[in-house]
Structure 1
Amino acid sequence: MTTLFISDLHLDERHPQITELFLHFLATEAREADALYILGDLFEFWSGDDIRNTLNNSVKNGLKALTDDGIKCFLVKGNRDFLISKRFAKETGVTILGDYTAIDLDGQQVLIAHGDTFCTLDEKYQAFRTAVNIPWRQKLFTCLPIFVREAIADKIRGKSQQGNQQKSMAIMDVTESEVVNKMQEYHCDILIHGHTHKPNIHDVQLSADKLGKRIVLGDWFDQGSVLIWRDGQYDLQQRAFLKDV
């Protein structure tokens, strides 16, 4: 059984090479898998399920073709695409998951998440996250005209980039104690997440005599990043842009 994990593509019309690689991935490698998990920030910013443009339509069509072929596809919403909702799920066949989900992979309990909730030292971000995930605020935002929503999204992106430049790497990374607490809460020895854009496989001291693993997915800014889980073994790999092949 083969399960694929990706995150942090940040699909945007300004970076067509990422979209091209993702659509190629959906049409080829993902078709050979049993399931695909997208762990947040598929889009640079998602302003509402009702927005239709070339990028959104092509991505939705690619996902629908994948799920129509019987490949299970799951999505954890990230901090950039938290407004993805039921309409997107219906149009693509993708199943939307919560912030934390424990899944069974070849008899191994694995916790999956976007990863932003582990960055508890970044108090300003956590306050922002709490504010924008209030249901009535999200509903109000999606009632605004599309051009207003996109203008707000551009402003949020600008402030986020500026703010991150002023933060230390330690603040923007995960808090180890929060990782351990969640892995223990969900009884999982392995955690897979994205968000930090720092692909790696870390040891996690879950107890005095138990060592777990934290697998961090990479972003797709300079290449694709794919975690392949097959028959109890996992491998974090890169994929070159099509024009670089």
Structure 2
Amino acid sequence: MILLISDLHLQEERPDITRAFLDLLDGRARQAQALYILGDFFEAWIGDDAMTPFQLSICQALRTLANSGTAIYLMHGNRDFLIGQAFCRAAGCTLLADPSVVELDGEPVLLMHGDTLCTRDVGYMKLRRYLRNPLSLWLLRHLPLTLRQKLARKLRSESQTQTRMKNTEIVDVTPEEVPRVMAEHGVRTLVHGHTHRPALHKLLVDGQPARRIVLGDWDRRGWALQVDDQGMQLAPFEFT
């Protein structure tokens, strides 16, 4: 069994989500061959050197799972793209490039966070290119902690405001971009998060049947894609 999740947005202000995640680690994830976390794992991340006690506790929980034999793969999201190798080493997980092709259920599957599919959101795409530039990343990681905290609050506030103001089509994936990216990577299945719109979409890629599986965000309930002998099942579960 393999599990895929995304968009937990872990933060101290949402202990219900944290409990649900820890329950998953102690339950289904212990039986899994691998756990894939496809971005926005944390609500915010300003550097491995600035881990809070809360974030450290999550790191330790991941390490416990890794030590039990479950492989953990972590992909950057738009909220936590400053997660680095120091965190991954401590947590016992592997940082996964976005995009990546892995074999699931006997076929190559494209994994993405999903934000790069939203090409109609021109303002965001421009900001993303700037922030993900290697020089920008180096500068961000070397800013004083207080400045990083201030910048993170500012970006988070602006992101929330702009998302509310933007047309819903703009913050969703660009329909034409999906088959283009899938054809580029030679896959018939794409799994991503980011849009907070869990669903299974059927489409054609180079004239062949294909599918796009969108992982749900953890807010009122959790979401996980389970891959096992029965295939791929995307299902929600209630917080306890």
> TM-score scaled by structure 1?
0.95
Alpha-carbon separation, structure 2, partners of 1:138 and 1:227: 31
Matches within 5 A, 1:81-96: 81-96=80-95
Q: CA deviation at 1:89?
A: 1.1
Secondary structure of 2:212 counterpart: strand
Counterpart for residue 21 of structure 2: 22
Q: CA deviation at 1:123?
A: 0.4
Amino acid at match of 1:143: H
Counterpart for residue 107 of structure 2: 108
Matches within 5 A, 1:1-245: 2-208=1-207, 210-231=208-229, 233-242=231-240
Alpha-carbon separation, structure 2, partners of 1:54 and 1:20: 16
Alpha-carbon separation, structure 2, partners of 1:146 and 1:222: 32
Alpha-carbon separation, structure 2, partners of 1:207 and 1:114: 23
Amino acid at match of 2:119: T
Amino acid at match of 2:233: D
Give the length in aligned residue pairs. Answer: 240
Q: CA deviation at 1:232?
A: 5.6
Secondary structure of 1:225 counterpart: strand
Q: Check conservation: 2:183, 2:206, Cα contact below 8 A.
A: no
What are the ranges of 5 or more consecutive residues in structure 2 without an aligned counterpart? Answer: none
Alpha-carbon separation, structure 1, partners of 2:98 and 2:51: 26
Alpha-carbon separation, structure 1, partners of 2:203 and 2:45: 33
Alpha-carbon separation, structure 2, partners of 1:174 and 1:133: 20
Q: CA deviation at 1:43?
A: 0.5
Instruction: Encode CA deviations 1:155-209: one digit per residue, 9 max, x unaligned.
Output: 111000111111111111111221111111111100000000000000121133x
> TM-score scaled by structure 2?
0.97
Instruction: Encode CA deviations 1:42-71: one digit per residue, 9 max, x unaligned.
Output: 001110001132220111001101111111
Q: CA deviation at 1:117?
A: 0.5
Q: Check conservation: 2:59, 2:90, Cα contact below 8 A.
A: yes
Q: CA deviation at 1:147?
A: 2.5
Superposition RMSD in Å: 1.1
Secondary structure of 1:191 counterpart: strand
Percent of aligned pairs with the same residue? 42
Q: CA deviation at 1:228?
A: 0.5
Runs of 4+ in 1 over 3 A off after TM superposition: none
Q: CA deviation at 1:144?
A: 2.1
